[in-house]
Structure 1
């Protein structure tokens, strides 16, 4: 018995050593595999349905380079104002699920003023800023701070014209409002149904177009620094009078009051007009192989008074970081990747979007594919921004209502502008 009992301690020691080896092996194996098996951080953003194909390939590339980060793209409706509403609703409810905020230039001030966006100013350098188009960069700022980093869509308004008709009748592209009217009327007399197409429906597109005309007459809408309103000045009334007269004189079609960009694009593409104000997206459609005016169209800066600069309304999209994001550093990595030269080149070559990086406007491969980018680069040098104010949506709605009242001759241009100025001042006073 004694001998048998003395064997137990040795047996226990042997079992203990075996268990110790097994435990150490298990812990070592766990420590080795845990990082590889850990779930990646997930970043999410909302985007209109038609843009999902733009970002999917870039997301795949980013995730391949950053396996520790997963990006979830949430597909929203194809209308940008509804996408904006979805963002707003999520932020108002609190705990918004978005880390990245993909936003139009007109959303920046409202989102920043509401405290929904992180200030990116400390993350960027003057050298980075210098790489981007001035208007695209400035459009991401609110009260001197940067809240939106430019993405690959740098829209600007432009004047499309029938190059073949102007050449045939010996005209150069117009530089002034008077030139535009004269050429329109002369070529209408030669058989072209309409002279000048522009959006007149009560939408944001009409606001952007009017801002260009207003600037071309030397006027202004709202000074974002002082909140001064310039809609009831002589310049503003003259600008609106110009547009109303194109309707009265038959230079623009009566349907203009209900037209948006696409209605105008289709009319122009079917050879029904000499001039059209539109965004750059229209170029590829107008020059498609099936287009009746393919190869017959030029693009030019919007016109102005002789003593004024012709300015294009700056549009475009960019990236912000939600203040509710738990992963701001990873979100910033994604923004840098999506806005890089390589990423922008890929999107430009596949989808024809305007880049926000200056370097891509002189890239030989891109210019070979899109020769008109050289002129659009010049147009980008002289842009006008919609006012960066928190109440932008309401101010734009006021302007749209009174513009349309003048277009439909419910109010005179002067009465419309005086009323719009009064309501805008009341809005800004609260």
Structure 2
């Protein structure tokens, strides 16, 4: 998944930029006197180049507490692996980490990130659901930085010509994808169905949009054995069986699916808000001919997975006081505005979604706010990486029509039980 832009495009990069940064962070051994000093900020890569100017501003204002940027690979799995490897080694190179919202529980349960004082940050100013992604067992372990929610993109010209409105339910989406798309030489519907984090997101959204969930109670209770989970798997499997989801979509990640829509090959697409700007930009074959709405569900509006990223402080950082100041800086109104306007990433401050100027330049903000406010985080678990891999493996077999929804739910229940019972 494009995990920050989502998981988006503004924070992915192909190169690892680690050489020469080790000296910027103090060695391990506990906080320095006063907890103040230089920081190293580690994140997935910044393709829109919005971060360095923000850090330059900080460094000019605080020359005694400079921040050095470390950018990791474009793969969310690889980024997570490198962060975990460094933190588990006991090294002190990383001070502040920009982590996928789904990793907060895992990093907190392992003691790799430090709890934070709630009163240090203006949490009441954030969109309500995003704060939940930053907590574990009732404590704040991170500060929300970027949020995200899935949207349904649709060809407004084709629906309009047929006298149809955008779908609000799965049955409406399936009917339109099955009947209207072929008349225009299009494929019906796609999401992100390659086995990676994006598939976990799409499957979790399907289960949630039927009223179910995968795990409850901070990952301690398995809840996937439900009619809702069976319905969620069946919705996607039926689309592939009936052909309104193309087989090609089994190879789609965010970018492949975005390209299919922007090139005019899809009637419907589930993807993140960054697609809106691309679809309406130069070279797009659907510019001025598409729209976006919240995801449909089994019997009404659906429920998106809550994407985005959180800012956490390494438990080994020697400068936690400076780190807390840096987190407050990155979530300030001025910086959050630039996160949107320069980085093209959805901010966490609720007030920005009502700003007339921002809404005029980013028309999807109103829809996105609606989707974020009804969104639900991915399953919280200290073993989230294993949970996600299990969901992907089962989901891959369901979408390949090798396993029925009933069989998939039973298998996933067993595998989640093995994970939760593991050491």
TM over 0.5: yes
- Name which of 218, 221, 227 aligns with 1:234: 227
Q: How far does residue 254 in structure 1 lie from its aligned partner after superposition?
A: 1.0
Q: Give matches, 1:175-324, under 5 Å.
A: 175-225=168-218, 227-306=220-299, 309-324=301-316
Residue in structure 2 matching 1:74, options 66, 70, 74: 70
Deviations 1:37-77 (A, max 9, x none): xxx93110222233582211111111222222111111222
Q: TM-score, normalised by structure 1?
A: 0.87
CA contact (8 A) 2:339 2:346 kept: no
Picking from 94, 97, 114, the partner of 2:93 is 97
Are the counterparts in 2 of residues 41 and 70 from structure 1 also a CA contact under 8 Å? yes
> In the aligned structure 1, how far is the partner of 2:394 from the partner of 2:144?
32
* Conserved 8 A contact 2:149-2:306: yes
Corresponding position of 1:407: 399
Q: CA deviation at 1:256?
A: 2.0
Q: CA deviation at 1:189?
A: 4.0
Equivalent of residue 333 in structure 1, options 325, 343, 350 = 325
Identify the residue that residue 18 of structure 2 maps to in structure 1. Answer: none
Give the aligned partner of residue 142 of structure 1. 136
Query: In the alignment, is the contact (CA less than 8 A) between 1:192 and 1:273 conserved in 2?
Result: no
Structure 1 residues 52 and 216 mapped into 2: Cα distance closer, same or farther (>3 Å)? closer
- Looking at structure 2, the residues matched to 425 and 159 of structure 1 have their Cα atoms a distance apart, in angstroms, of 33
CA apart distance, 1:82 = 1.4
Instruction: Provide the rounded CA distance (Å) in 2 between the counterparts of 1:81 and 1:394.
Output: 12
* TM-superposed deviation, 1:87: 1.1
Inter-partner Cα distance in structure 2 for 1:52 and 1:276: 24
Q: How many Å separate the matches in 2 of 1:301 and 1:353?
A: 18
CA distance in 1, matches of 2:251, 2:217: 30
Aligned-partner Cα distance in 2 for 1:122–1:267: 43
Pair 1:374 & 2:366 matched: yes
1:158·1:277 contact (CA, 8 Å) conserved in 2?
yes
Which piece of structure 1 moves more, 263-272 or 77-86?
Answer: 77-86
The alignment of Structure 1 onto Structure 2 pairs a total of residues equal to 387
Deviation at residue 266 of structure 1 after TM alignment:
1.2
Q: Which runs of 5+ in 1 are unaligned?
A: 1-39
8 Å CA contact retained: 1:121, 1:146? yes
Instruction: Name the stretch that deviates more: 45-54 or 351-360.
Output: 45-54
User: Within 2, Cα distance between the matches of 1:248 and 1:376?
Assistant: 31
Contact 2:263 2:286 in 1 (8 A): yes
Matched, 1:85 2:81: yes
Q: Which residue of structure 2 aligns with residue 129 of structure 1?
A: 123
Structure 2 contact 188–267 (Cα < 8 Å) conserved? yes
Q: Distance in 2 between matches of 1:290 and 1:63?
A: 38
Q: Which has the higher helix share?
A: 1
Q: CA RMSD in A?
A: 1.6
Q: Distance in 1 between matches of 2:248 and 2:359?
A: 36
SS at match of 1:275: strand
The 1:117/1:160 distance shift into structure 2, 3 A limit, reads: same
The CA deviation at 1:227 is 2.3
Mapped to 2, the partners of 1:96 and 1:253 lie a distance apart of 47
Deviation at 1:261, TM superposition (A): 1.9
The one of 109, 113, 116 equivalent to 1:120 is 116
Separation (CA, whole Å) in 2 of partners of 1:222 and 1:324: 30
**C-alpha distance in structure 1 between counterparts of 2:163 and 2:94, whole Å:** 55
Q: CA deviation at 1:245?
A: 0.6
The structure-2 alpha-carbon separation of the partners of 1:334 and 1:51, relative to structure 1 and needing over 3 Å to count, comes to farther
- CA displacement, residues 88-130 of structure 1 (integer Å, 9 cap, x when unaligned): 11111112311111111111111101111111134446xx222
- Correspondence for 1:163 among 156, 167, 179: 156
Cα offset for 1:350?
1.6
Q: Aligned equivalents of 2:312 and 2:201: distance in 1?
A: 23
Residue range with higher mean Cα deviation, 276-285 or 40-49: 40-49
- Could you say which structure has the larger radius of gyration? 1
